[in-house]
Amino acid sequence: MNYLDQTWATQAACAGVAPDELFGKGAEQRQARTMCFDCPVRMECLAEALDTNSCFGVWGGLTERERRALLRRFPEVTDWSQWLAQEDDDLVAEIHARRAPKIMPHVRPS
């Protein structure tokens, strides 16, 4: 992925939102991410956040905690865009759902 090419960001549902609304904590993050679920570039946003290890804010509908859990669970992933394109993975399907994903049970060690 070319991190300098962020043309997708102009199409984001949050493009006109003040950054403070996306970089809150706790309940503020969960509220902010609701705008992500119908965003046309949600997966591009999430892939970039995971590829660059963005530590703060809501990206692609996932909170900081959820992204950290994914990064810990899948340290071998080097191209998150490709990983998110998998069609036969339950966790990927959960992330793609147009609602708050329940990813924590999927990424906790068994």
Token couple for 22: 């996306």
**19 phi-psi bin (left φ>0, alpha ψ -120 to 50, beta other):** alpha
Tens of pLDDT, residue by residue over 57-107, are 899 999 888 999 999 999 999 999 999 998 888 889 989 988 888 877 777
Quickly count: other Cβ atoms within 10 Å of residue 84's Cβ.
20
**Domain ranges for the chain:** 18-107
Q: What percent of the chain has pLDDT over 90?
A: 37
> Position 94: which residue type?
E
